[in-house]
């Protein structure tokens, strides 16, 4: 069943339930903020302090970073672009079968068309398609900034990136991954040459992330001090929330940028299961 619902303040979201899974997707940012398979814990982490308001990004779930990832050269522009704070239109809904449902959202103006196609079933599939409808080239960086719900960050291990080069955003140095990724401090890395499935191993389960249309991925956890600073600055998560999530971001980041000529399209795709 697919239904459009509203919170008391008018905030709109799509509620999806089928025999395999359930999900909730806000029209604000086309933001998937809940996904869980039947009989299991939620796959996505969502801050209980999130205030659902139009024009304000949601802390947790899968924010869409677009048309730029990170800080823009123009410091007056918002970090991670404007898509996550923009209201999308629903252009298609489909009950594919008893185990799978899909919804497609669109954001457009005279220069571009941006659509997000979401399939909810035993796997969560996302396809973010950018089309240049302008008369000049259009450069983008982007990401699915996915917050994964974990039992305890100390018990997390990420595989699939061994021997991959990465930029350590904390030191701005190029490094190379040696073995599995574990967490004992703040981690903020942009991995390059990503061409395999990323595997998140938690104490209670194993999750997989497959990426298409990109060769970069971001691994992030703010750890103790930054989490406290973020909590004080925005009050949208607890000071110790870093224990409960890790971000694995399917991305076109930094040198993995995309240049679209007029009438060209590009699709960033992620499959989570």
> Kind of pairing, strands 138-140 and 258-260?
antiparallel
Which is catalytic among the residues 249, 261, 264, 266? 249
C-beta separation of 192 from 166 below 8 A: yes
22 as an active site residue: the answer is no
Which is catalytic among the residues 34, 145, 244, 266? 145
Query: Which phi-psi region, left, alpha or beta, contains residue 75 (left: φ > 0; alpha: ψ -120 to 50)?
Result: alpha
111 as an active site residue: the answer is no
C-beta separation of 97 from 119 below 8 A: no
Structure tokens at 264: 């060209």
Q: Rounded to an integer, what distance in angstroms lies between the CA atom of residue 58 and that of residue 53?
A: 8
What residues are annotated to the active site? 145, 249
């Amino acid at each position: 069943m697919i239904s459009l619902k509203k919170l008391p303040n008018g905030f709109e979201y799509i509620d999806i339930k089928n025999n395999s899974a359930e999900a909730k997707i806000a029209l604000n940012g086309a933001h998937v903020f809940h996904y869980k398979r039947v009989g299991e814990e939620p796959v996505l982490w969502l801050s209980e302090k999130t205030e659902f308001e139009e024009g304000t990004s949601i802390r947790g779930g899968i924010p869409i970073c677009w048309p730029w990832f990170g800080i823009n050269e123009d410091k007056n522009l918002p970090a991670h672009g404007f898509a996550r704070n923009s209201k999308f239109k629903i252009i298609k809904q489909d009950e594919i079968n008893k185990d799978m449902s899909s919804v497609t959202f669109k954001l457009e103006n005279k220069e571009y068309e941006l659509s997000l196609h979401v399939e909810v079933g035993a796997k969560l599939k996302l396809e973010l398609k950018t089309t240049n409808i302008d008369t000049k080239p259009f450069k983008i960086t982007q990401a699915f900034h996915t917050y994964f719900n974990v039992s305890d960050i100390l018990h997390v291990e990420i595989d699939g990136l061994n021997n991959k080069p990465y930029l350590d955003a904390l030191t701005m140095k190029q490094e190379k991954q040696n073995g599995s990724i574990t967490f004992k401090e703040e981690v903020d890395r942009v991995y390059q040459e990503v061409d395999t499935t990323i595997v998140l191993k938690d104490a209670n389960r194993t999750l997989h992330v497959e990426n298409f249309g990109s060769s970069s991925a971001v691994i992030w956890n703010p750890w103790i001090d930054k989490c406290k600073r973020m909590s004080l600055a925005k009050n949208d998560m607890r000071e110790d929330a870093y224990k409960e999530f890790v971000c694995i971001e399917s991305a076109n980041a930094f040198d993995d940028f995309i240049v679209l000529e007029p009438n060209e399209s590009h699709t960033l795709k992620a499959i989570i299961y």
